[in-house]
Structure 1
Amino acid sequence: MPHLSVRLYPGRTKEVKQDFAEKLQDLVVKELGCEPNVVSVSFKEIEKEKWDDVIDVEIAGEDIYIEADF
């Protein structure tokens, strides 16, 4: 059911991403009242120099509730 797609700068270890994914899964289960087995989480690393171009294209059409300001 819910899928969370995280885009971030490169540099975090697989263990850090796995831990973060598990925390996101726990939060979704708690807040949306679903079972853990229906929650998926993915990561896509985007180089800092390409961030604006890639993000603009990839999230076009998505509802953004919190926008970064940097």
Structure 2
Amino acid sequence: MPHLSVKLYPGRSEAVKQAFADKLQDFVVKELGCEPNVVSVSFKEIDPEKWKDVIDDEIAGEEVYIESDF
């Protein structure tokens, strides 16, 4: 509890992704009142030309609160 899955275009360094994951973890801890050790963050890189198809398939059935316009 909780897990955050970030999907993004390829090209960011491991350092950038780690810093972003750390910030997401800090935010979740503050907002949800949980301990850092129960928060996990993963990244999946998706090529731009496959983005719409992959995202549509992967988030099917999920509650989407903010939709992108691509």
Determine if the TM-score, normalized by the shorter chain, exceeds 0.5.
yes
1:35 aligns with 2:47: no
Question: Normalization by structure 2: what TM-score?
Answer: 0.98
Shift of 1:69: 1.5
Residue number in structure 1 paired with 2:51: 51
The percent of aligned pairs where both chains have the same amino acid is 80
Q: Which runs of 5+ in 2 are unaligned?
A: none
Question: Normalization by structure 1: what TM-score?
Answer: 0.98
For these two proteins, the number of residue pairs brought into alignment is 70
Structure 1: which 4+ aligned runs deviate by more than 2 Å?
A: none
The amino acid that maps onto 2:27 is L
1:13-52 per-residue CA deviation (whole Å, 9 max, x = no partner) reads 0000000000000000000000000000000000000001
Q: Which runs of 5+ in 1 are unaligned?
A: none
